[in-house]
Amino acid sequence: MTGVAAPPAEETAPTLPGPGRRPLRHTLTGAVTWGGLWVFVGGLLLAVATVLLTSLTTQFTDGWLPRGYTTRWYAQSWATFDLGHLLATTVGVGVAVVAVTLAVALPTAYVLARLTFPGRRLLLLLILVPQVVPVMTYAVPLATLVYRLRLNDTLAGIVLVNLVPAIPFAVLVLVPFVEQIDPRIEQAARVCGATNRRVFVHVLGPLLVPGLLAAGVLTLVRVVGQFELTFLVSGPDSQTLVVALYGAAVQAGELASQEINAMAVVYMLTTLVLLLAALRLVDPTAVAARDRRSRR
């Protein structure tokens, strides 16, 4: 060491990044990192608080907070946008998409995880390409197709278009879960005389419940938030919450902003319930790590 009068704190105590809880060190980069994180979280909370407060405002003032509070905008918003119908549509579409997606994605994921066969790379390509092509690129012709099938403005049409990104996504989530199951368990079941169907229903099914839950919840979150595809296909009778929220926010001048924000709060609560469910069932870091391992 050269003759530095006051070496930085981290050099005087050369702690190694060992396992377990690391000691808190006060470094410039650390301060910047955590500061940035807090700016992000703070901005987010303030933005959400803005929406929440606006939806409860009786009258706007020039001050920081509104002059009075009321919940009547929720009733009005419920009536104007027919929120009950919107919620029912959103939930219905979500459940239908998740059910079909899991039924189709599980067998595909099983084959991808277990078998090597000619054309496997092609199948992988078919599953990866929808993740990297812009949604609009296939949404426009797909919406035209749905229109020609006379499925536009119907629940079936919305479910159909939402399945297109959902199925490959669910396959990608499920493959690592299938890979984790020891193939010898299946072989043992087959030796004992189980048929294909029984292997799936009695052996793989129960073992795959965590994977199915993870894929199902993640698909549901994506469907509820899916905007572009649903927007192109839905009509006035078959909107989901996001699409209606966008429609209201675009024509903001014609509606009271409290009404729009009341709908936004309803949407937010719906997604937060889903997020809580997701966090109970899925460890997000584990999904990211597994996802990466499978991609190598």
Partner 1 sequence: MRAAGPAGATSDLDHPEAYRLTWRDRARQRGLTPTLWLVAPGVVFMIVFFVYPLCYGVGLSLQGTGGWFSAYRDFFANRLVNDHGSRESILITLELALAASIVNVALAVPVAYRMRGTVRAKRTIMAVVLVPMTLGTVFVASAMKEFLGPSGWLNRALLHTGVVDQPLQLVGNFTGVLLSLVFTGLPFAFLLMVGYTSGIDPSLVQAAAVCGARPAQRFWLVTFPLLLPGMTITFCLSFVLAFGVFPSATLVGNDAGPTRVLSKIAYTEYSYGRYPTASAAAVVMAVVQLAVLGLVLWGRGLLHRGPTTGGKG
Residues 213-252 binding partner 1 (CB under 8 A) are 221, 224-225, 227-228, 231-232, 242, 245-246, 249-250
**Segment holding 212, helix H or strand E:** helix 205-225
**Is 79 near partner 1 (CB under 8 A)?**
no
Piece of the chain touching partner 1 by CB under 8 A; list 82-90, 139-147, 151-159, 205-213: 139-147
Which of 226, 220, 120 minimizes the C-alpha distance to 173?
Answer: 220
Ranges within 35-64 binding partner 1 (CB under 8 A): 36-37, 40-41, 43-44, 46-48, 50-51, 54, 62, 64
Q: For the chain, how big is the Rg over CA atoms in Å?
A: 25
The span from the CA of 235 to the CA of 128, in Å, is 30
**3-state class of 69 per DSSP?**
strand
Determine which residue in the list 2, 13, 20, 26 makes contact with partner 1, applying CB under 8 A: 20
Least spacing, CB of residue 194 vs partner 1, in Å: 14
**Is 78 near partner 1 (CB under 8 A)?**
no
Least spacing, CB of residue 79 vs partner 1, in Å: 20
What are the DSSP calls for 61-120, one per residue?
-SSSS-S-B-SHHHHHHHHHHTHHHHHHHHHHHHHHHHHHHHHHHHHHHHHHHH---TTH
Ranges within 101-120 binding partner 1 (CB under 8 A): 103-105, 107-108, 110-112, 114-118
Least spacing, CB of residue 249 vs partner 1, in Å: 4
**Is 141 near partner 1 (CB under 8 A)?**
yes
CB atoms within 10 A of CB 86: 23
